[in-house]
Amino acid sequence: MLEFRGGPVFAAALMAFSAGWRENGAMAQQLLYVSNTALYASPAMLDDILAASRRNNSAAGITGMLLYVEGGFLQVLEGEADRLDRLYQKIVADRRHWNAHVLIKREAAPLFCDWSMGFHRLARQDGAMFQISADAIAGHIGDGDQMVLLSLMENFYRIQSGEKGFGARAD
């Protein structure tokens, strides 16, 4: 369970979440999932996944963010519902990871609409974001905490997006 429920971090996360909503009110299907992968995924494997994601997602009008955490992925995808369903089925069939589990599937204003696919390899020095993501991948997230996690991902992404190589602008 996330331990900050109801505290100042929770309030800040919800504010960041609502700030990301697009002014024009456009809605998209949003999917947040977790999965397990190799504990020490090679940079080459992660680069390959990221390059393919950016190429394919951009062509399909899908945006999002991918986090790698010591043995797991946490990913938000946004786009047209049928395209997301097909993409998620491809992801589930990919042998580089297993135990894919959807945490959120809903219609919402896109949060990552300016990015074809953001990526960050979380490390312990990323503090709470590392621990929360690791807990979610391990299945230790309570009902209702999924939206808080999504809010924190958006906030984390917006803070980190200025780093070289973190996000690729969507065309």
Reading the chain (171 residues) residue by residue, the pLDDT tens digits are 333 333 344 334 433 433 443 445 678 999 999 998 887 888 898 899 889 888 888 888 999 989 999 889 999 999 999 999 999 999 999 888 899 999 999 999 888 877 778 888 888 888 888 888 898 988 888 777 888 888 888 887 777 666 444 444 333
The pTM of this model reads: 0.76
Instruction: Answer yes or no: is 44 within a domain.
Output: yes
Instruction: Answer yes or no: is 168 within a domain.
Output: no
Instruction: Answer yes or no: is 110 within a domain.
Output: yes
Instruction: Answer yes or no: is 169 within a domain.
Output: no
Q: What share of the chain is helix, strand, coil (3-state, %, to 5)?
A: 40, 25, 30
Instruction: Answer yes or no: is 171 within a domain.
Output: no
**What is the domain-level CATH number for residue 113?**
3.30.70.100
At residue 40, the pLDDT reads: 81
At residue 126, the pLDDT reads: 83
User: How many domains is the chain partitioned into structurally?
Assistant: 1
Instruction: Answer yes or no: is 1 within a domain.
Output: no
Q: DSSP label at 115?
A: B
At residue 162, the pLDDT reads: 62
Q: Domain range spanning residue 56?
A: 8-160
b/e 129-151 (16+ beta carbons within 10 angstroms → b) = bbebbbbbbeeebeeebbebbbb
